[in-house]
Amino acid sequence: MSDHGHDHDDHKHDNHFEPIEARVRALETILTEKGLIDPAAIDVIVDTYQNKVGPRNGAAVVAKAWTEPDYAAWLVNDATAAIESLDFMGRQGEHMRAVFNTPEVHNVVVCTLCSCYPWPVLGLPPVWYKSPPYRSRVVAEPRAVLSEFGLELPAETAIKVWDSTAELRYLVIPMRPAGTDGMSVEELAKLVSRDSMIGTAEASGPAVSAASGGASK
Ligand code: FE
């Protein structure tokens, strides 16, 4: 039980949650039996962060930025207010900054100290985001780490690593994929994965199924 996903291979898989879930369930049972927690309250919290806040919120922000230049400019100047205007607000999202990918600069987000993450727009952080190898290596060798995620950037693209803090959380605005001119905001949002808003992936092209994670054409 000491091994729950800090190997590099786990970056590409999210199928190593079961042992953790079992431990969480066991802990919840013990705490409930001792009268220390109310499982209904836990369910509300879990539902909130799994269903109400989550990466679809961030994807809506990105798709709006792609289609409305005024909104993109607002994100640049005051991301907190621009995001709150869509009713995405709350804990760990009080102070937001949006960083825009360009052909010249690719942005990637980490919290080197712990696991600071913009909950209202991305939900709960993936396990790898909290892992010590990601937190240390993405700063020291970002290009190698992104390559392990399957993201090969052109050599001329600079990589900028942003270190989240309790005071400031970052949302990466990936580049709008080519071939998406006629798409609606809703269709565009489906191209925006969680990882593309952390910076460990790009937005999917229109021919790739959003659910596949871009593994194949
Ligand atoms: Fe942190």
pLDDT at 211 over 70: no
Catalytic residue among 2, 116, 136, 164: 116
Q: For residue 209, indicate whether it is catalytic.
A: no
pLDDT at 119 over 50: yes
For position 52, what pLDDT does the model report?
66
Q: What separation in Å is there between the alpha carbon of 156 and the centre of ligand 1?
A: 30
Q: What separation in Å is there between the alpha carbon of 163 and the centre of ligand 1?
A: 9
Segment 71-75 shows an average pLDDT of: 98
Between 110 and 205, where is the model more confident? 110
Catalytic residue among 2, 85, 115, 193: 115
The pLDDT-based confidence of 216 (bands split at 50, 70, 90) is very low
Asked whether the CA dihedral 122, 52, 17, 36 is positive or negative, the reply is: positive
For position 207, what pLDDT does the model report?
66
Segment 63-68 shows an average pLDDT of: 98
Domains of the chain: 17-50 (no CATH), 57-212 (3.90.330.10)
Q: What separation in Å is there between the alpha carbon of 65 and the centre of ligand 1?
A: 26
Q: For residue 115, indicate whether it is catalytic.
A: yes
Catalytic residue among 2, 85, 114, 196: 114
Q: What separation in Å is there between the alpha carbon of 148 and the centre of ligand 1?
A: 23
Q: What separation in Å is there between the alpha carbon of 109 and the centre of ligand 1?
A: 11
The pLDDT-based confidence of 12 (bands split at 50, 70, 90) is very low
Q: What separation in Å is there between the alpha carbon of 110 and the centre of ligand 1?
A: 8
Least confident of 3-17, 171-185, 199-213: 3-17
pLDDT at 42 over 70: yes
| Cβ(172)–Cβ(197) below 8 Å | yes
Structure token digits, residue 147: 């390559």
Alpha-carbon distance 109 to 160, whole Å?
A: 9
Between 160 and 52, where is the model more confident? 160
Among 104, 89, 164, 167, CA closest to 134: 164
Between 182 and 217, where is the model more confident? 182
Contacts of 143 (CB under 8 A, 6+ apart): 153, 159
- The strand pairing partners of 9, in sequence order, are none
pLDDT in tens, 132-185: 999 999 999 999 999 999 999 999 999 999 999 888 999 999 999 999 999 999
The pLDDT-based confidence of 2 (bands split at 50, 70, 90) is very low
Amino acid at 94: E
Catalytic residue among 111, 193, 196, 204: 111
